[in-house]
Amino acid sequence: MTQQRCLPANEIRDRFSKAMSDMYQTEVPQYGTLLELVAEVNRETLEERPALRQRLEAQDEMTRLGVERHGAIRVGSPNELSMLRRLFAVMGMYPVGYYDLSEAGVPVHSTAFRPIDDDALARNPFRVFTSLLRLELIESDALRQRAKRILDARDIFTPQARELIERFEAQGGLTEEEAAQFVEQALETFRWHKDATVDLDTYQALHDEHRLIADVVCFRGPHINHLTPRTLDIDEVQRRMPSVGITPKAVIEGPPRRECPILLRQTSFKALEETTRFAGDGEGTHTARFGEIEQRGTALTPKGRALYDQLLSEGRKRAAGLDNDAHQAVMGQVFEAFPDDLEAMRQEQLGYFHYHLTEAGQASAPQPGVEIEALITEGLVEAQPITYEDFLPVSAAGIFQSNLGGGENDAYAGNANRDAFEQALGAPVTDELALYAERERTSRQQVLAALAG
């Protein structure tokens, strides 16, 4: 066989993320409207804030901004999850982070499949928040077994997708032509199906247990339930949503607006009510798919995260029941305890930073043995905040809840079970904090080595 060149995983991911976005725009036209609104606000924000543009350019984030998005799916069995791990690996996406949602009354636990390297993130950071249904949290034996039987009988992957994944694993890559087929076949797994695989009674029984269980169990596959573009000004997009016919959820999740954004702020619009055909000719509706936007800021260290978690829970208590403006005002007050200044965040080790040589640093004579802080003071080295690439369980729960209808659900008794999740996945999940710490450490070592002479 002649040796054919393989398409880089980054390229396959980029194509897949575009294909997914195109598909979702046809499926949910409001998503297209949202993309336009986000692009418009991003354009305006960059014009009004040249310093922000400069920082994004320096951090290699300008190119990715226009293609950046995350999606979310929910699967029903360990087999489905482990096969998805293999499917995402073809695109250079690996499981990062473990999120327990049972505490918030959602019977799933999750990870995010995403690229890891700096280069891959800069090219296209496409992430898929992936949740595994926890059937063991269904109390009724009969219902649990019924759900399991339905899930065991379905295959969410096309035979060609399976074959191409195996070929990727055997060859260590896919050729241009195979990659094109792969994107087409992989897309099938995430498509929406109007027809439920079960009758209306079964749907209703599962729905009564938890709406999410019906969503996972009753369809042919894990339809993509939202795709989320990244905005540079989430408050402005939230404000303008009604003017383009989109009703946002009541409050923006996560930290308040700041000079120096941290972690992740998110808001969504309500799920569509869709006509669904059930087996045996029943007709009904199902709500599954919605829209979401996010604004990303600096990744926090464990110390920064502990402060964030403490302030968030205090803020949420004080802001309970308030509308978005009042909620944000309360959060803003509570978060005054979190320094809103990059240098302070760095000095107090609240955030992760990437160190690099300034122009003066590149032109400088060797500085062996000089400490990094002195190099910064001399203007030879600069620190840039590292962008948070992951998710937040409390915010995720808020997004789930706003689309499940009704109020908050009670917590499930069975709490986090990372071991079971990793067993289902067939691999450990990477600790997201370790990744940021490693990127920071490597960048420090690189500037020190460069100046050592």
Q: Which residues form the interface with Ni ion (CB under 5 A)?
A: 72, 228, 292
Smallest distance, ligand OOG to C-beta of residue 31, A: 14
Positions that interact with ligand OOG (CB under 6 A): 72, 74, 129, 131, 225, 266, 292, 391, 395-396, 399-400
Smallest distance, ligand OOG to C-beta of residue 34, A: 14
* 395 contact, one of Ni ion, ligand OOG, none, CB 5-8 Å limit per kind: ligand OOG
Q: Compute how many other C-beta atoms are within 10 angstroms of the C-beta atom of residue 442.
A: 12
Joined tokens for residue 135? 């059937």
Name the strand (E) or helix (H) holding 43.
Answer: helix 29-48
**Closest CB to ligand OOG among 77 and 395?**
395
SS3 7: strand
Smallest distance, ligand OOG to C-beta of residue 399, A: 4
Smallest distance, ligand OOG to C-beta of residue 298, A: 18
**Closest CB to Ni ion among 131 and 228?**
228
Smallest distance, ligand OOG to C-beta of residue 404, A: 9
Tell me the one-letter amino acid at 430.
T
**Closest CB to Ni ion among 130 and 364?**
130
Residue recorded with tokens 């609240």: 350
**Closest CB to Ni ion among 289 and 346?**
289
**Closest CB to Ni ion among 127 and 354?**
127
- Cross-strand pairs, 71: 128, 227
Sign of CA dihedral 400, 402, 404, 409: positive
* 443 contact, one of ligand OOG, Ni ion, none, CB 5-8 Å limit per kind: none
Smallest distance, ligand OOG to C-beta of residue 10, A: 23
Smallest distance, ligand OOG to C-beta of residue 267, A: 10
**For the residues of 272-293, what is the DSSP string, one character each?**
PEEEEEEETT-EEEEE---EEE
**Closest CB to Ni ion among 105 and 398?**
398
Q: Compute how many other C-beta atoms are within 10 angstroms of the C-beta atom of residue 422.
A: 15
Q: Compute how many other C-beta atoms are within 10 angstroms of the C-beta atom of residue 149.
A: 10
**Closest CB to ligand OOG among 299 and 396?**
396
CB contact at 8 A, 100 and 415: yes
- Cross-strand pairs, 99: 110
Smallest distance, Ni ion to C-beta of residue 31, A: 12
* 328 contact, one of Ni ion, ligand OOG, none, CB 5-8 Å limit per kind: none
* 74 contact, one of ligand OOG, Ni ion, none, CB 5-8 Å limit per kind: ligand OOG
* 192 contact, one of Ni ion, ligand OOG, none, CB 5-8 Å limit per kind: none
User: Measuring CA to CA, which residue among 190, 213, 87 is closest to residue 138?
Assistant: 213
Name the strand (E) or helix (H) holding 127.
Answer: strand 127-133
* 367 contact, one of Ni ion, ligand OOG, none, CB 5-8 Å limit per kind: none
Round to whole Å and give the CA distance between 178 and 173: 9
Joined tokens for residue 51? 């310093």
Q: Half-sphere exposure of 77 toward its Cβ, with a 13 Å CA cutoff?
A: 17
* 7 contact, one of ligand OOG, Ni ion, none, CB 5-8 Å limit per kind: none
**Closest CB to ligand OOG among 15 and 265?**
265
* 3-state percent breakdown (helix, strand, coil) of the chain, nearest 5: 50, 20, 30
**Closest CB to ligand OOG among 290 and 353?**
290
- In the 8-state DSSP scheme, what is residue 378? T
Sign of CA dihedral 251, 253, 256, 259: negative
Round to whole Å and give the CA distance between 347 and 344: 5
Residue nearest to ligand OOG (CB): 396
SS3 123: helix
* 391 contact, one of ligand OOG, Ni ion, none, CB 5-8 Å limit per kind: ligand OOG
Smallest distance, Ni ion to C-beta of residue 131, A: 11
